């Protein structure tokens, strides 16, 4: 579903800071923050530059001990969640 959008990037107005192994994203537009675990943080870092879902999956599989199928499910779920919160946008 998210892959059909093409290239994604982190939305303007979102700032990230380290939080242990994970990260916290501050959305200054909505005055909300969101937390990510270590894998979520890695995926978020990939969105600093426009990237496709397939590019993010390939990098995540290379960085973590996870199957491509499981990674695809998890990345799709995270990107959809970020999209619903307007934290990512088409590049």
Domain CATH for 32? 3.90.930.60
Q: What is the pLDDT of residue 2?
A: 46
- 91 in a domain, yes or no? no
Q: What pLDDT, in 10s, does the model give residues 4-63?
A: 569 999 999 999 999 999 999 999 999 999 999 999 999 999 999 999 999 999 999 999
**Residue 73: inside a domain, yes or no?**
yes
In SS3 terms, 35-65 reads as: EECHHHHHHHHHCCCCECHHHHHHHHHHHCC
How far is the C-alpha of 62 from the C-alpha of 89, rounded, in Å?
A: 24
Name the strand (E) or helix (H) holding 43: helix 38-46
Query: Cα 25 to the chain's mean position, in Å?
Result: 11
Q: Are 15 and 25 in contact (CB under 8 A)?
A: yes
pLDDT at 1 over 50: no
Number of separate domains in the chain = 1
pTM of the model: 0.91
């Amino acid at each position: 579903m998210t892959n059909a959008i093409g290239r994604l990037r982190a939305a303007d107005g979102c700032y990230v800071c380290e939080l242990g192994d994970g990260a916290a994203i501050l959305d200054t537009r909505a005055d909300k923050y969101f937390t990510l675990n270590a894998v979520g943080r890695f995926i978020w870092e990939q969105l600093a530059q426009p990237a496709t879902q397939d590019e993010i999956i390939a990098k995540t599989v290379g960085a973590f001990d996870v199957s491509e199928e499981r990674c695809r499910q998890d990345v799709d779920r995270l990107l959809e969640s970020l999209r619903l919160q307007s934290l990512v946008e088409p590049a």
